[in-house]
């Protein structure tokens, strides 16, 4: 979104999200390409935008959230309402 890379925690309070926030940095690997990143927890106003876009761009994530009972229909409005419940991170180049 806006040329930046974001990640959404799958469950409220998930270990992955807590560990990512605590670490503050990580490594993304795709094939032979390795990128070192800073993991930044975004503020709620950014999380709302990211979650709305997530509902439109990540159908597998929508199905996951529906099966987990986080949303009913998987609409952008429902996902926006998860801001503050699901962790949203921005991955910045390190």
Residue 26: domain span = 5-93
Joined together, the tokens standing for residue 93 give 């180049």
| Cβ contact 81:52 at 8 Å | no
Residue identified by tokens 């959404």 is 8
pLDDT at 71: 95
pLDDT at 13: 84
pLDDT tens series, the chain, 94 aa? 778 999 999 888 899 999 999 999 999 999 999 999 999 999 999 999 999 999 999 999 999 999 999 999 999 999 999 999 999 999 999 8
How many domains would you assign to the chain? 1
CATH number of the domain at 44, please: 2.30.110.10
Closest CA to 88 of 61, 49, 56, 55: 49
Quick one: which H or E segment has residue 67? helix 59-67
pLDDT at 11: 85
**In angstroms, rounded to a whole number, what is the distance separating the alpha carbons of residues 18 and 20?**
6
**In angstroms, rounded to a whole number, what is the distance separating the alpha carbons of residues 28 and 71?**
29
């Amino acid at each position: 979104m806006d040329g930046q890379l974001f990640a959404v925690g799958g469950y409220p309070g998930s270990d992955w999200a807590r560990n990512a926030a605590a670490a503050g940095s990580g490594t993304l690997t795709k094939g032979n390409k390795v990128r070192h990143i800073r993991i930044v927890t975004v503020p709620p106003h950014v999380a709302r935008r990211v979650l709305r876009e997530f509902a439109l761009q990540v159908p597998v994530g929508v199905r996951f959230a529906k099966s987990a009972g986080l949303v009913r229909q998987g609409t952008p409005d429902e996902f926006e309402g998860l801001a503050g419940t699901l962790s949203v991170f921005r991955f910045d180049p390190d």
